[in-house]
Amino acid sequence: MNNHPSPLLTAESIILIKQYAAAAEQMEQLHPEQLKLIYAQNWFNLFVPHAMGGLGLPLPQAVYLQELLAYADASTGWTVTLCSGANWFIGFMEESTATSFFSDKQVCLAGSGVASGKATLTQNGYMVNGRWKYATGAPYATAFTANCMIEKDGEPVLQADGSPVVKTFIFRKEEVEIHNNWNTSGMKATASHSFSVKALHVAKNRCFIIEQQHARLPDAVFYFPFQAFAEVTLTANYSGMAFHFIDECKILFEERIKRHGYAIKEACEMLEILGRTKSKLEDARQLFYDALEKTWKAGCEEKRWSASMLKNLGETCRSMVKLARNAVDDLYPYCGMIAAEQGSDINRVWRDFHTASLHAVFTFGCG
């Protein structure tokens, strides 16, 4: 990706991340050198305010960085995106809770957005039970966040519209049991294991609600709707992975044409689809960033975004994701058997992309 606008990731850092990507996959978690770089650059704290030890980035600038990290290595980009996204929850926590959990310079929150836990109201807090899947970065998480349905006297607590009340809880690492069950074809180094708690009593200040009206810090990023926040950050990851795959294809296509001596017609077909696919994706990427910048600027000052602008941004995200999927799948048949060899770089990128693309945020609307 030429002319990438993020100044926060040097060429040397990209080389380092790529250098250890294969080893990280074998280890089934990020390589220590990749983690060392993440901590040194404070990337888990992209959205945490400066005053609280973070980078305090505006949303578009953070998204640019996430895309380039995903371009360098899918698992690294995904881990930074999901964990910095969980660290974003600092904007909704009580001050004492935020101070307690974010005093660690290597703070990294892992968690799940599915409300697969139950929290029963007690006299001075909650009794929590539950098990949650897909906690990216579990091995190096200093704390875990999880959504729970609230119960009282054995019955669910309901909102005015009759839907159950759901709150997010934060647990210390020693309070949870990690289940090492992340066993997928790709994104292996994200180490997205399950975790659980059993009959855990937590104080009331250890839960919060992730909605704009419940934000406690003044930074505009904490007032950006969570659904849109998730869509733009994940779209950036799919974009980075897709462009990585395209660049791997370019190298491979040129080698195959030279080695096999394809006829002019066949060689032209390979290069034509490569160029056309990349051009379409570049156009979609530009539309995505234009929509993101426009939307962010429109509501940043007042910390309020119109439903129409958010809808347009969501549609742009889905269009980008659909084109990214099509780009990878259209190019794959031209790659030859090396693309199916699990030890090859291009196979890892292909497996990572298709595993990541199963995320529920884009299950529907991108067909």
Q: How far apart are the first and last CA of the chain?
A: 26
Q: Give the max Cα distance, the chain.
A: 78
| Residue 186 DSSP code | S
Task: Report, as an integer, the average pLDDT of 317-338.
Answer: 96
**What CATH number does residue 315 fall under?**
1.20.140.10
Per-residue model confidence (pLDDT) at position 129: 98
| Residues 193, 234 within the same domain | no
Q: Does position 7 have pLDDT exceeding 80, yes or no? A: no
| Residues 348, 257 within the same domain | yes
| Residues 158, 277 within the same domain | no
Tens digit of each residue's pLDDT (9 = 90 or more) over 16-75: 999 999 999 999 999 999 999 999 999 999 999 999 999 999 999 999 999 999 999 999
Last residue of a domain, one of 165, 181, 212: 212
Per-residue model confidence (pLDDT) at position 6: 57
Last residue of a domain, one of 91, 119, 152: 91
The tally of domains found in the chain comes to 3
pLDDT band (50, 70, 90) for residue 1: low
| Residues 187, 267 within the same domain | no
Number of neighbouring beta carbons within 10 Å of residue 329: 12
Tens digit of each residue's pLDDT (9 = 90 or more) over 135-165: 999 999 999 999 999 999 999 999 999 999 9
Query: How distant is the alpha carbon of residue 299 from its chain centre?
Result: 23
pLDDT band (50, 70, 90) for residue 251: very high
Tens digit of each residue's pLDDT (9 = 90 or more) over 275-314: 999 999 999 999 999 999 999 999 999 999 999 999 999 9
Structural domain harbouring 23? 11-91
| Cβ pair 147, 167 in contact under 8 A | yes
Pure H helices in the chain: 11-19, 21-27, 32-41, 59-72, 74-87, 95-101, 226-260, 264-300, 307-331, 345-356
Question: Which of 179, 231, 237 lies closest to 360 in space, CA to CA?
Answer: 231
| Residues 351, 250 within the same domain | yes
The pTM assigned to this predicted structure is: 0.95
| Residues 18, 73 within the same domain | yes
pLDDT band (50, 70, 90) for residue 259: confident
Q: Does position 4 have pLDDT exceeding 60, yes or no? A: no
Q: Does position 367 have pLDDT exceeding 70, yes or no? A: no
